Structure 1
Amino acid sequence: MAQTRRDQGVAAVRHFNRFYTQKIGVLDEGLLNSEFSLTEARVIYELFHRETPTAAELSRELALDPGYLSRLLRNFGTQGLIEKVTSATDGRQHLVRLTAKGEQTYERLNSRSHDSIRALISPLKTDARQRLLDAMQTIQELLGEKPPASSADVVLRPHRPGDIGWVIHRHGVLYSQEYGWDERFEALVASVAAKFILEQEPARERCWIAEVNGRSVGSVFLVRDTKTVAKLRLLLVEPSARGLGIGTRLVDACVTFAREAGYRKVRLWTDSQLHAARRVYEGAGFARASAEPHEEFGEGLIGETWELKL
């Protein structure tokens, strides 16, 4: 069965490759209606964006056969697109750079690429375009390329339509993958989220969604428990965004809001195996008030109640 699923995965990736390469014109005789192949255009792109590399560096970075790259560069030289210069620090090395004609060729290819992609995505509505960008970023992350991000890229905002469904879905998926919790946890999250939407007291309850570059990567809720006690619920940070201090910022937002709303205490429930979350709570000044075993979402779990006096 596992082998069958792997084979299905391979078939799906191959199907996507065929679809996408046809969609962006990679299979055309000349890329972007030019005289260049995809590989040739990529080499021109790299030469424009690199500080005079050697042929060996290009071969290594692009994973191209040195002999094939040598023939390609020789052809570029014949066309007047590149020139080779001797390294100022090592006379045995020859550096490669674009000529003025080569730079003009890059600008032409880059402009055509920009127009081609714009034509491809412009028919999409805003939400569909965002789904496309999210899917592309997910592919990059899962296959090993993590886009650069810093704490400065993190934005906290109020919830809007569609966010609550995302919160429920991601809790269900991540807690199953990382901790083996079953569907009963997802049902609990759904009930908490639904109650918030139907009964929210805006002056005393709030939801925050964390975004990085426009992509939702975290959530937290602060809801009323009693007149003087608030509950922090549904703290989540996507694996791809961990390490940016998002959990701390979400919890700090809850504590600040709770003080401003007049609560005297913030309470939360967590599980002993959620080590990263527990460190965030400790850092915010919460202390564990009680603990007891439970089997609400699986076996051998220990639930903990934590509190912070304001």
Structure 2
Amino acid sequence: MTSGSGLAGVDNAVLAVREFNRFYTARLGLLRRQHLDGEFSLTEARLLYEIGAGERVTASALRAQLGLDAGYISRLLAALTKQGLVAQAVSERDGRERLLTLTAVGEGKVAELNARSSEEIRGMLEPLRVEERAALLGSLNKVRSLLNTDGARDKRTAVRVVRLEALTEDALELLVEYYEAVQVVVRDGPEEMAKMLADDAAGMWLAYLGERPVGCVVLRRLESVVRAGECKRLYVRPKARGLGIADALMDAEEAYARSKGLEWVYLDSHDGLKAAIALYRRRGYVDCERYNENPQATVFLRKRVG
């Protein structure tokens, strides 16, 4: 039986969350008629973003992800397709589904939206001190973790992230899978990895579900930039995705970089890895100049961590 004081506590929490909702919807401009004062509603802009960031996106997947009514999302997608922003093709796996992709025009519109959004949020973050920004990002990740639904929160509690002292068979196995999945041309062998792990400012982290290794990430010193490190080899096995494991790995990596006095973490990627790039941008990574000679890289990002 629930006590009266317990009910009162929940009621107070409800009022606090509602008050915060009113604050941040106004602060982020979500009450405007058009998102970011552009030509799209917030829902239309979100659909375009998810189609651009995802892989093999379908209307049913968007409905499940965003909690939208089937008829509503169908009308929105039809309108976006008519405007020449979204292309639809019959899925080879399931003829009842249509795969959604952005057209060249749609990609341009999403790029404009991303630039406007980044500029607006940067304006909110720049007045904050470094430690205040770190506290804010930590709080955002905590809220996301606590409010996660669909059973993922219970599964996430079983995730364990470990920093390696030396290269292991689990680590090598995950690296080989990553190399093959992303078709990496320039690969680090066991000797290069062992040498890198000997550097106190570098490291490799593995994520475990129970005793099963399911993901990895690497941090290495970036010689070309003072007080900077580079995030490499972020990988989560397909069956373990959707549980926040990539975030957990990057949380551990960024915290370690901060503890070693690094101010920046850089990373590179390429245009085809849309889901990964979306993750990085959500975590606060912003565009920067090319900083290496990686022949496969087309996207260069960095994040201030210290």
Larger Rg: 1
Q: What TM-score results when the alignment is normalised by the length of structure 2?
A: 0.48
Q: What TM-score results when the alignment is normalised by the length of structure 1?
A: 0.48
